[in-house]
């Protein structure tokens, strides 16, 4: 749904657009393993609070940036925060 708007806003090609989507899964998949370990060690409340803050900051950064590299970083942060849910 957003592909046309993202391509126009950032002047990106298909490869860069695909990388925006992939950055989410680059963080999500490995942090699925890490999330269980951290939750066992530090407890659910602390870990989910920090993960929620990372997710929120990544979402805010995604909506406010005009740099493609910040978009990559924000999608990575969104994937990282989502892995703990």
| Positive or negative torsion for Cα 44, 49, 52, 53 | negative
- Which residues touch 83 (CB under 8 Å, ≥6 apart)? 27, 28, 29, 31, 32, 34, 35, 51
CA distance 65 to 56: 14
- Coil, helix or strand at residue 72: helix
| Structure-block tokens of residue 40 | 């066992």
pLDDT grade for 2, boundaries at 50, 70 and 90? confident
User: What tens digit of pLDDT does each residue of 12-71 get?
Assistant: 899 999 999 999 999 999 999 999 999 999 999 999 999 999 999 999 999 999 899 999
Tell me what pLDDT residue 85 has: 87
């Amino acid at each position: 749904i957003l592909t046309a708007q993202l391509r126009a806003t950032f002047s990106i090609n298909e490869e860069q657009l695909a990388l925006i989507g992939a950055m989410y899964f680059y963080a999500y998949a490995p942090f699925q393993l890490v999330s269980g370990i951290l939750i066992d060690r530090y407890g659910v409340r602390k870990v989910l609070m920090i993960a929620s803050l990372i997710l929120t900051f990544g979402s805010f950064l995604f909506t406010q940036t005009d740099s493609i590299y910040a978009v990559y970083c924000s999608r990575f942060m969104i994937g990282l925060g989502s892995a703990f849910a």
